Structure 1
Amino acid sequence: MKIAFISDIHGNAHALEQVLADIKQKQVDLIYVLGDLCYRGPEPKRSLDLVRALNTEVIKGNADEWVVRGVREGEVPEKALAMMNRERDWTVFHLDPADVDYLKQLPSELHLSIEGVKIHAFHATPHSLFDIIAPGVDDATLQSSLMSAADSQIYVYAHIHKPYIRYLQGKVIINTGSVGLPFDGLPMASYATVEITAAGIRTAIERVHTDVESVVRQYEESRYPNAAMMTNVLRNGSV
C-alpha cells in the first residue's frame, strides 16, 4: 500500500497538477491532503476544485482558516497584516460561498489505520493550526508538540514548507513540505509518501519540477495584490 500526503498548495494549481501526475506515475493507492489549499496563489478556485475532485480526506490548515474569517492581529507580523487581508479578500472574491463553507467545515486532524499501521496527520500540531515546529528542534520538543497520539507509529504534518523525515523512539515524523510554495531553497513542489509492505515501512520526500515562470505570469496577469513578494518566494523557494 502506497500513500501520498500533500499539503500547502496555496492556490498554485499548476504545481498541484504536476504533483498529481507524479503521484499517478508512482502508482499511489491513497492520497490525503493536509491543508492550506487556496490562499496566497493565483488560482484559488481551480486549486480547490482539483482537491475536491480527489474525493479523499482533507484537513484544514491555517490559511484555510484565514480564508474563512480573515487574518487576525497577532497571527502575522503587524506590518504584513493589512496586505495579507487584502490577499485574503482577493482569494474570497475568486471563490464561491460554497467553497468558503467547505473550508469552514474541514476537520483538523486524521487518525488513520492502514494495514495495521497507525498514522496521525495534522497541519501544524495536533492542537494548533498556527504553531511552528521547525526541522531542527530537539527531540523533547518534537515529542511534546507532535506525538500526543501515543499509539501512532507515523506522524505527518505540514505548515512549515520545509520537508524532512526524522526518527524518534522507533517512530517516524514526516513533514510534507509544500506543493505550491516551498521554503527550503529548492523551488520544486514537495510531498511525502509512505509505503507499507510485508517487509516493513518505507518513507520518502518526493520533489517535482514545475513551470515556475508560468505561475509567475499568472500572479502578474491576475493582478494578485502581493504579486512581487509572492513571485520572489516562488522563484527562490524561500521567504
Structure 2
Amino acid sequence: MRLAFISDIHGNAVALDAVLKDIETRNVDKVFVLGDICYRGPEPKRALQLVQSLNCEVIKGNADEWVVRGVKAGEVPDQAFDMMTQEREWIYAQLDSEDIEYLQQLPTNINFSHNGMNIHAFHATPSSLFDIVLPSETDATIEEKLLVEGTDISIYAHIHKPYIRYIKGKCVMNIGSVGLPFDGTRKSSYAIVDVEESSFQTSIVRVDYDVERVIQQYQEVNYPNAQLMAKVLENASL
C-alpha cells in the first residue's frame, strides 16, 4: 500500500496544486493531511477546498487553531505578535462559518495500521500542536517527545524541515511543508510511505511550483505581511 502525507500548506494553493498533481502520478492509495491548511498564504479558501476535495483523513495544526481562536501572547515572538494577529484576521475574513467549524472540529492524531505496520501521525507532537522538535535533537529527546509505544513509523510536520531517522528500530520522519519550506530548497515537500507484507519504504518528495506567482498573489490580495512572506518564499527560509 502506498500512502502520501502532506502538511503545512499555509494557504499556498499553487504549491498544493503541484503536489497533488505529483501524487496523481505515483499510484497512491491513501492521502493524509497533517494540518496548517490556510494561515499565512494568499489563497486560504482555495487551499481548504482542495484539502476537503480529497475526502481523506485530516488533522489540526497550530495554524488551524490560530485561525479558529486567534494567536495568543507567548505563542509567537513578542515582536511578531501584532503582525501575525493582523494576518490571522485577514485569513479569518476570507473564510465562512462552515470553514471555521471544519477547522475547529479536526482531530489531532492519526493512527493507521496495514500488514502489522503501525503508523502514528500528528502535527507537532502527539500531545501538542505547538512544541518544536528539530532534526538536530538527540535520539533521547525525539524518543521522549515523538515516539509512542507500539508505533513503527512516527510521522509529523510543523517544523517545515523534512528528515528521516531511525531510533531503536523505529522510523521517525518529518514531511516538511507544501507551502512554506524552511530548509533552503524552493520546492514543496511531502512524504511517501510504502508498506508491503514484509517491508516498508519511506521517502521525501520535492516538487517544483511557481514561487514567483505566489509572491505576486500576496501583492494582488493586499496580504498584510506580503513583503516578509515574499522573502520567506524566495529564500525558502525564515
TM over 0.5: yes
Gaps of 5+ in 1: none
Secondary structure class of the residue paired with 2:191:
strand
**Structural RMSD (CA):** 0.6
State the match for 1:98 in structure 2. Answer: 98
Mapped to 2, the partners of 1:114 and 1:155 lie a distance apart of 14
Residue 46 of structure 1 deviates from its aligned partner by 0.1
State the match for 1:17 in structure 2. Answer: 17
Aligned residues with identical type, % of pairs: 58
Residue 136 of structure 1 deviates from its aligned partner by 1.1
TM-score (norm 1): 0.98
**Aligned-partner residue type, residue 186 of structure 2:** P
**Aligned-partner residue type, residue 53 of structure 1:** S
Following TM superposition, the consecutive aligned residue runs of length 4 or more in structure 1 with deviations greater than 6 angstroms are none
State the match for 1:112 in structure 2. Answer: 112
Mapped to 2, the partners of 1:197 and 1:231 lie a distance apart of 41
- The alignment of Structure 1 onto Structure 2 pairs a total of residues equal to 238
Residue 110 of structure 1 deviates from its aligned partner by 0.8
Mapped to 1, the partners of 2:115 and 2:82 lie a distance apart of 47
Mapped to 2, the partners of 1:116 and 1:54 lie a distance apart of 26
CA contact (8 A) 2:115 2:197 kept: no
State the match for 2:5 in structure 1. Answer: 5
Mapped to 1, the partners of 2:19 and 2:167 lie a distance apart of 29
Is 1:126 aligned to 2:123, yes or no?
no
CA-to-partner distance for each residue in 1:187-212, whole Å, 9 max, x for gaps? 10000110012341010000000000
State the match for 2:233 in structure 1. Answer: 234
**Aligned-partner residue type, residue 231 of structure 1:** A
**Aligned-partner residue type, residue 26 of structure 2:** K
Mapped to 2, the partners of 1:203 and 1:51 lie a distance apart of 23
Is 1:153 aligned to 2:149, yes or no?
no
Q: Show the 5 A alignment for 1:19-34.
A: 19-34=19-34
Mapped to 2, the partners of 1:130 and 1:69 lie a distance apart of 14
**Aligned-partner residue type, residue 90 of structure 2:** W
